[in-house]
Chain A
Amino acid sequence: MGSFLHVVFVGIICAALGAASWFATPRGKNQVLLRSSVLLSLTCCYLMWAITYLAQLHPLIVPRRSDLRMEY
């Protein structure tokens, strides 16, 4: 069973990646652009993933369908 800790854990990984990218971006005129882009992308993707994951963590409803056929 997944848990809230997974979300925290992935969050820490993303933060670590972000920190690493902060120091890894080469100096130059695109440094600010690269840093902000990488950090924002990480944040956006992490948020989206976390929301999707959390929404399915403790589902309140169960998928239901009425078009299943018998297996042969």
Chain B
Amino acid sequence: MRLKERLTVNETLKRSLRRAFLRRLRRRAFAAAGATAGAAALLVALLWSSSLLPARWGETSHVLAADWSVGEMKTVARLDRTTLAPQGYAASSAGLYLSASVGGLYRLDGARLEKIADGAFGDIDLSPDGRTIVWSTGEQLGAYDLLTGEKTVWLKGGAAAPEAGHAADGPPNEAVYYERPVFQDAHTILLTRRTIAPRETHGFVVRASEIVAFDIRTHAVTVLGEGENPAPVPDKGGFVYVSVAREVPDPEEADEAPSLRPTFEIVYRDEGGQEKVIAHGKDPAVSPDGRYVAYVHVPQTGSFDTPDPPQDALEGVWLVDLDGRTARRLSFNVPAPNAIRQDGRWTVLPYYSYFKPRWAEDVRSLYVLQSTNVDPGGEMRLIRIALDDRPPGPAAVVRAYETATLRGDDFFALRLFPGDQLPPMSNPRKVGFAVLRAEDAPNGERATIDVAEMWSYTSMPYASMVRVRYTLGQEGGEWRILRNERLGEQSVALDERFDSPALVMVDEAGKQTLFPVSEAREAFGTTDAARPTAIAYLPKHGEIIIALADGGDSWIGAYDLEQGAFRLLDRRKGAFAARLLASPDERLLAAELVPPAGGAPTVRVYAADGGWSVDLGERLNADLLYFDEDGTLYTQLSAPGYRALVAWTIDAGGAVERRP
């Protein structure tokens, strides 16, 4: 008997699972056969036309594109445009592969970015088995083996390509370029092949843009037709591609350059070669189940009779059914502030630009790149959009909005609360929230949600709890925040007007002195020169947490508002607490500790009862530090070229788990 056979298998489970799969396969086969029957097709068509079938049948596989909701949009990584702006990327279960436009292939796994290889990779895609990266730099098409690290060139383009310069009527110096390769199956790659020729004066002209299939085994290239940016359709066969119509210059004005605003049509070509225009846009990506196409909607015009054109007229990420039946916008955009008025019309640029949607492994989430048109030298964000087949309720919308503002995901916060003035990502900053009261409402009515928001300053002793009421209404079947109002505020701050500075609490009832700083110095045994550097307020516990510092020495302690008593939580050397924050359940405290001579801060977490404390042990960018509602602490990892959020789960005993 072999070693492995000594471990027994659950034969009952094996048989029952097999039976279940067999039943499901039979059902699907039966359904497929039925669908081909003329009578069934007629019946379905009849039902559709008479609107007897509901738009949603309860299974995600039957949800129309227009019926999906956006559950969450969040920044996965912020990439420096000059060093790490991805020219291409591909999603897999092992993480995301990115190819930087300045060279280098990277793998992003959670908050970890690892360089895999040097050199230019350009556009990339990942093979179905996750082993091979196909890349195209324009002049070359090739593969990179993720196991062996071997980089292979399959096709060489440029001016030396055999296809170049053969057009009888073409000018000399034609060159061939390969772009946007994507795996159709394990052996076939679809890509765009462009043939370009230099203009006599300047620039170049695209003489041909073709979609070709490349066979990995034989290196045979088959031309499938005109177009660009193909995306194969899993299961159903065929592919989606972009057809570009560039405006032809008026013959009377032949010297003028062609229009810079071409028309982009997204076309689905089925296995039989039948074509249908399903949307206007670019960068199509077909979902893993072959039912939907995510794409970047490109408006037909950038000129409007208003400086604030409607959402659908701005660039954004959209979802459309493969057959083009329904479509919906997933992202949100606002006009950039530099609209130009000319001849009574406004030329408006969108604030956000979106590029290259890519589906994750399942149909419920996709990635997209985003940059802003007001900060061209800044960061490019890689965003993950999670789809939900039922719209989130009012409380979920408010939670998502609060989280988006904590994370700095303005694009999502604006989607949930259009017209909001977003809180600044500087001082004071929101560092946590908790929903106090949620009142769901029937469809068509308003809902109100009350929230407690925690705010604090960096390097200034100030903490406040603000109670906010959100009013929500429905728009297009989804809840949106209509307005928010401040119900009240309780803040704790340092009052330095007296000879002896004191901590004061300010609320609707007025200002109340809590204790002089000298009492805290005495209770904690600090030097006389120690000054408060940070405060946290724990309203449920009735405690103030205060940090004092003198040079490189710091003390962190609690003050019981009812008893008027102090207790020391920690004494540290070589760092002062620039910020203190408490989890919404007031179980945990986090202190951002900064070396007095400068340098990257660290974060130390304390049990609020003083039972333990633990150092997260990682140098951090302190721009972002917050607790979510369930007590998970988020910090921002700042590495050369990129920033990403790291989540820390801390249990009751102080055991820390870093996610991801």
Do A and B pair up? The answer is: no
Which B residues are within 8 Å of any A CB, using their own CB?
none
Which A residues are within 8 Å of any B CB, using their own CB?
none
